[in-house]
């Protein structure tokens, strides 16, 4: 509902996406690869406000699997706007109010079974170290005090509404600094009164993330080949059961479904280029599908259109 009450202004930029192919991540994300879990009623949006020493981004996400590399030299704080959400980060389930802080280069693998509304505070070089981040290049999760989180949420959404309705306030240096100070002091208090959640399975999670990266590399290198779980497990040096557990933990689905989903999205990525040299059959075979009936059925179920429709639309766009 928050986005419906926001309008673009000289102080507030808003981007809306109803097409997954047009979707782009926020600027400080160096590399992000999203695999939507469904394209039904796809829609996402983001709003951006620039303050003197930091930037605020508000984003609506969608059900997806994401590999993302954050590049935040001076730090970033991420929190959900509402309590009702579910996400798995590097194989660790987060199903209660939490926020994360990080500084430097951090690679994450996460799964959002449902879309959510979250805010990202990107710190600039001009801000003095507020001692929010103890360890660079590492994700730091926190369980916040409910009242301090509510305050940070309220101030953040209030800044967005001000940027929409009264952009002149944010264009005044003194007013913008005062607004920013309110936000920073609220985040100070949220960090001070938070605690680090007890995630006892963190070591296993790191191992599982490593296995999933090995799977991704293997599938990418053998895109046109049929992939068998026993052979894949042997290449990774673990049992099929361990491989399945790793994928379920990090990606939230079975090994079989994950492999099929990767192959389908790889095929679609080729089709949307609209090359005259490609055919649906050659594209399917180049991505490990050798039974065209199965490919057609899975493609339509996943993307709500046929592969030939995707290819035809891409060629018309050219």
Check which CATH number belongs to the domain holding 101 and give it.
2.60.120.10
Q: What is the pLDDT of residues 91-102, one digit of tens each?
A: 777 766 788 888
Print the domain residue range for 42.
3-192
Mean pLDDT of the chain: 87
Of all residues in the chain, the percent with pLDDT exceeding 70 is 93
Based on the domain organization, do 143 and 23 belong to the same domain? yes
- According to DSSP, the β-strands at 29-36 and 99-112 are unpaired
Q: How confident is the model at residue 30 (pLDDT cuts 50, 70, 90)?
A: low
For residues 47-67, give the mean pLDDT: 92
Based on the domain organization, do 158 and 64 belong to the same domain? yes
Based on the domain organization, do 8 and 122 belong to the same domain? yes
Based on the domain organization, do 282 and 251 belong to the same domain? yes
Residue 197 lies inside a defined structural domain of this protein? no
Provide the domain count of the chain: 2
Distance CA 268, CA 289 (A): 13
Q: How confident is the model at residue 29 (pLDDT cuts 50, 70, 90)?
A: low
For residues 28-57, give the mean pLDDT: 85
C-alpha angle 201-203-208 in degrees, rounded to nearest 5: 90
Q: Any idea of the CA torsion for 84, 88, 92, 98, to the nearest 10 degrees?
A: -40
This prediction's pTM: 0.78
Instruction: Enter the tokens of residue 201.
Output: 């399975």
Domain-ending residue, one of 192, 217, 232: 192
Based on the domain organization, do 188 and 213 belong to the same domain? no
Greater confidence, 202 or 119? 119
Distance CA 58, CA 283 (A): 37
Per DSSP, the residues of 151-187 read: HHHHHHHHHHHHHHH-HHHHTSHHHHHHHHHHHHHHH
Q: What is the pLDDT of residues 200-248, one digit of tens each?
A: 556 667 788 899 999 999 988 888 887 888 889 999 999 999 999 999 9
Assign residue 241 the CATH number of its domain: 1.10.10.60
Residue 223 lies inside a defined structural domain of this protein? yes
């Amino acid at each position: 509902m928050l986005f419906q009450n926001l309008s673009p202004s000289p102080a507030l930029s808003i981007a809306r996406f109803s097409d997954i192919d047009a979707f782009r991540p926020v600027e400080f994300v160096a590399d992000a690869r999203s695999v939507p879990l469904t394209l039904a009623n796809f829609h996402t949006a983001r709003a951006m406000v620039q303050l003197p020493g930091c930037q605020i981004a508000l984003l609506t996400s969608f059900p997806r699997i994401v590999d993302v590399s954050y590049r935040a030299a001076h730090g970033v704080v991420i929190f959900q706007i509402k309590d009702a959400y579910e996400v798995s980060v590097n194989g660790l389930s987060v199903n209660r109010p939490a926020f994360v802080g990080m500084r430097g280069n951090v690679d994450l693998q996460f799964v959002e079974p449902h879309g959510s509304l979250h805010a990202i505070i990107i710190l600039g070089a001009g801000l003095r170290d507020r001692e929010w981040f103890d360890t660079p290049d590492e994700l730091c999760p926190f369980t916040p005090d409910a009242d301090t989180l509510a305050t940070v949420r309220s101030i953040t959404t209030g800044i967005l509404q001000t940027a929409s309705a009264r952009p002149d306030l944010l264009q005044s240096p003194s007013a913008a600094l005062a607004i920013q100070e309110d936000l920073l002091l609220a985040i100070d208090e949220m960090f001070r009164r938070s605690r680090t959640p007890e995630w006892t399975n963190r070591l296993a999670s790191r191992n599982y993330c490593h296995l999933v990266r090995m799977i991704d590399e293997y599938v990418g290198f053998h895109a046109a080949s049929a992939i068998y779980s026993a052979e894949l497990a042997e290449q990774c040096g673990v049992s099929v059961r361990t491989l399945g557990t790793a994928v379920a933990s990090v990606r939230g689905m079975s090994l079989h479904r994950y492999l099929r989903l990767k192959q389908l999205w790889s095929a679609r990525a080729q089709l949307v280029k609209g090359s005259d040299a490609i055919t649906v059959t050659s594209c399917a075979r180049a991505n490990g599908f050798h039974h065209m009936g199965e490919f057609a059925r899975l493609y339509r179920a996943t993307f709500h259109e046929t592969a030939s429709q995707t290819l035809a639309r891409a060629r018309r766009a050219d």
